[in-house]
Structure 1
Amino acid sequence: MFKAPMALIMAMAVSVCSGSVNAEERVRSLQVGKLTVGQGQPAIIVSTSGEDETKVLQEAEQVARTQEADILELRVDKLVFATDAAKVTALGQAVRKRLNGKPLLLTFRTKPEGGEKAPDDAAYTELYQQWLEAGFADLIDIEMRIGEAEVRKLIDFAHQHRVATIVSYHDFNGTPSNEAMLQRLEQQAQYGADVLKLAVMPKTPEDVNRLTSITWQMRQRSDRPLLTMAMGGQGTVTRLSGEIYGSNLTFGSMGSASAPGQIDVKVLHQTMAALHKANSPSQ
């Protein structure tokens, strides 16, 4: 779990926020269930890590009780029955009931993007379509690697079922060029995604700076909510300071982290609150 003295947190808040322009004014808000994404502090997503129904339902109940957690991500790929559409549907419906109105993000993270399973693209698309028809998700994550035609197909299908979409790209090996990162985010917007997601692995502090710079550049070009992060220890600051650069969602952990560099949800919320206060016009 990430820990930092409050004095250090506040010093970072002042340093990061000094001279910044409020990115919130540039965002078109997205309503996901009862949650409004794109205004104020970034929404915090907590991912499940359980492999069976019992563990996942316990995690859902914990998220429902935790004020700092805004969205539960059901990581289907971690389940032992991940490709059993009927079992996942039954679990998803049970999870939804336990969330007390908090949004449910449905994600099948594949091995090429850091996940646990490797269905072919046709199976991946078919599973998502079945779950969308079942109607238990508020938001789904679609990997842009499956190609424009399939991404657009899933986005349209999701929207027909009144489900919002994240289109995502992950690079666990490094940080692409500035041009490549910006191009991927712009493609996601062109496909019609409701939220644009980019996660990269920095090798140096300069890689972290490039990720935040690209986030801000994309904020000037698009009014859609962004979810960007540099992973690992060096990238931790990007999970904290997204509000400053234009990223509107972030991931926190409750127990096992779903990606390298995640921070305990309570510490994350406290730190972002300090940054938000430091960045408010009255400060």
Structure 2
Amino acid sequence: MKTVTVRNLVIGEGAPKIIVSLMGIDIATVKSEALAYREADFDILEWRVDHFSDVSSTDAVLEAARAIRDVIADKPLLFTFRSAKEGGEQALSVENYIALNRAAVDSGLVDMIDLELFTGDELVKATVEHAHAKNVSVIMSNHDFHKTPAAEEIIQRLRKMQELGADIPKIALMPQNKTDVLTLLGATLEMQERYADRPIITMSMAKTGVISRLSGEVFGSAATFGAVKKASAPGQISVADLRTVLTILHQA
């Protein structure tokens, strides 16, 4: 399986990489959060742009991105506008969503973008091609904050992301019970062993699914999300605790 290298970080080998999410609502809080995160032990900073109040202004978004880049220096930066339909804070038209991601790619300030699978195949493929032309990697994602589908459906979505050119397919699902967590873990293992030719990221959310955030190296998930301050999704644990457990499992 090939790995994905972003700056000096190799995703898909060794222990799962830790992603933390920055959720400032304006440039001032974006800057202060980035500064507060600087000493935390994480690998990738995700900027959740759907929390940013002035998202309709490309200039304001890029000014904020530049402020983040200045603070985090050589850490990989993941640009994510999570749509309202997949658990985000705001809604954008498909046209504006694609335009926002393309502007981020063109800025030279971000290393990765998150592109939602169900945006439309042709738009997704074209945006992936545009990102790759600018040496920006694509995490293609799907989120369901209500349920966990059957393993076959989970695998089908992840394989579709591969087909559309994702560098890293990602899926996050809400378990209704512990069996749903096992479904997600089993699907992750089957995808990783039978179909994946690149790193994947999977997680089962909420307290019920927390084991999936820790066991990625065992079942085949290449990254996990932790919290520095406020969690960006239910079930996230602190980056310090996360690093401790991931290291124990890696060295076992």
Q: For the Cα contact (< 8 Å) 2:23–2:49, is it kept in 1? A: no
Which residue in 1 is equivalent to 2:199?
225
User: Structure 1: how far apart are the matches of 2:30 and 2:239?
Assistant: 17
> 2:43, 2:75 within 8 Å by CA — same for their partners in 1?
yes
What is the rounded CA distance, in whole Å, between the counterparts of 2:38 and 2:6 in structure 1? Answer: 16
Q: What is residue 226 of structure 2 aligned with on the other side? A: 252
Q: Which residue of 2 aligns with 1:70?
A: 43
Would you say 1:275 and 2:242 are equivalent positions? no
The residue number in structure 2 matching 1:110 is 83
| Cα-Cα RMSD | 0.9
Could you give the per-residue CA deviations for residues 81-140 of structure 1, whole angstroms, max 9, x where no partner exists?
Answer: 122111111110121111121000000001000001111111100111112111110000
Per-residue deviation, 1:58 = 2.0
| 1:32 pairs with 2:6 | yes
In structure 2, what is the Cα distance between the partners aligned to 1:83 and 1:132? 16
Superposed displacement of residue 274, structure 1: 0.9
Larger-gyration structure (1/2): 1
Partner of 1:235: 209
Q: Encode CA deviations 1:236-270: one digit per residue, 9 max, x unaligned.
A: 00001111101001100011100000000000110
Q: Using the alignment, how far apart are the partners of 1:178 and 1:187 within structure 2?
A: 14
In 1: Cα distance, 2:50 partner to 2:4 partner: 26
Match of 2:105? 132
Higher relative contact order (CA 8 A, sep 6+): 1
Secondary structure of 1:156 counterpart = helix
Structure 1 residue 75: deviation in Å? 0.6
The residue aligned with 2:59 is 86
The answer to whether the 8 A contact 1:40-1:243 is kept is: yes
Instruction: Report the TM-score, using the length of structure 1 for normalisation.
Output: 0.87
Query: SS of 1:89's equivalent?
Result: helix
Deviation at 1:52, TM superposition (A): 1.3
Per the alignment, residue 122 of structure 1 pairs with 95
Matches within 5 A, 1:82-231: 82-220=55-193, 221-231=195-205
16, 34, 44: which one pairs with 1:60? 34
CA distance in 2, matches of 1:115, 1:61: 24
The aligned amino acid for 1:115 is: G
Structure 2's unaligned 5+ residue stretches are none
For the residues of structure 1 that align with 2:26 and 2:227, how far apart are their CA atoms?
Answer: 19
Aligned residues: 251
